[in-house]
Amino acid sequence: MLKLYIGNKNYSSWSMRPWVLLKQAGIAFEEVKVRFDSFEPQSNFKQSLRSVTPTGRVPVLVDDGLAVWDTLAIAEYLAEKFPQAALWPKDMKARARARSICAEMHSGFGALRSHCPMNIEASLPQVGALAMRDQPAVRSDLERIVAMWTELLKEHKGGLLFGDFSIADAFFAPVCMRIKTYWLPVPNHITAYIQRVAALAGVKAWIDDALAEHDFREFDDPYRLSR
């Protein structure tokens, strides 16, 4: 059986992507959660991953002794291993576009990541308001996301970015969580998309688990002194 190594569900946006992808696609896997304690070389977190991946990071997918790390690599591996799951759009042009926006997510939106880290259980509207007021790059990232999603939702019926659920929705699920946590201002149709994503069985399962963790990690929670 596939084995997926992940971090804390409340905080680990990178872990969320392949976990949601597997869960929503109905692909069986074993979850191995490695609790964040610190990211120092001698931390339990790093020591636990040392024999699994040279990067010392999550997520990592292990299949019959093969370790695949990096969310894009994991997504591509799953798409090839389970072609019947149609994880990418079937249309060639739509598939290329889905890959493009996933790559954009993978390498971009640094300001949003930095100033609005994923924290599913928290509600931080004042932090979001300050980020929008004081950080032009956050505003720019949000504008790009709204423009991207708006265009795709207009082009494809079904309510998700490419109509049916795809890798693209899994990749942007953590962004949906960020917008919700920080109450970032978005148009109504974007709010509706976020609600549809949150209602997906795979996403809802991740959210429920995140809310049940009750594990405050101060180094990953810069805006709160406690839960």
The CATH number linked to 137 is 1.20.1050.10
Beta carbons within 8 Å of 118's beta carbon, 6+ residues apart:
10, 11, 12, 13, 16, 174, 177, 178, 181
Give ∠ CA 168-115-169 in degrees, rounded to 5: 10
pLDDT band per the 50, 70, 90 thresholds, residue 38: confident
Q: pLDDT at position 99, please?
A: 98
Q: Are residues 59 and 76 in the same domain?
A: yes
8 Å CB contact between 30 and 3: yes
Q: Are residues 52 and 11 in the same domain?
A: yes
Q: Are residues 110 and 184 in the same domain?
A: yes
Determine the Cα–Cα distance for residues 220 and 191; give it in Å rounded to an integer. 26
Q: pLDDT at position 136, please?
A: 98
Q: pLDDT at position 121, please?
A: 98
Alpha helices by DSSP H, listed for the chain, are 13-25, 44-49, 71-81, 92-107, 110-115, 125-134, 136-155, 167-181, 188-199, 201-213
Q: Are residues 150 and 56 in the same domain?
A: no
Q: What is the mean pLDDT of the chain?
A: 97
Q: pLDDT at position 181, please?
A: 98
Q: Are residues 123 and 45 in the same domain?
A: no
Mean pLDDT of 176-200: 98
Domain count, the chain: 2
pLDDT band per the 50, 70, 90 thresholds, residue 27: very high
pLDDT tens-digit series, residues 101-152? 999 999 999 999 999 999 999 999 999 999 999 999 999 999 999 999 999 9
Total residues found in the chain within this entry = 227
pLDDT tens-digit series, residues 73-90? 999 999 999 999 999 999
Question: Considering the domain boundaries, does residue 172 fall inside one?
Answer: yes
8 Å CB contact between 27 and 84: no
pLDDT band per the 50, 70, 90 thresholds, residue 68: very high
pLDDT band per the 50, 70, 90 thresholds, residue 39: confident
Dihedral over alpha carbons 195, 201, 206, 208 (to 10 degrees): 80
Give percent of the chain with pLDDT exceeding 90.
96
Question: Considering the domain boundaries, does residue 215 fall inside one?
Answer: no
Q: Are residues 51 and 8 in the same domain?
A: yes
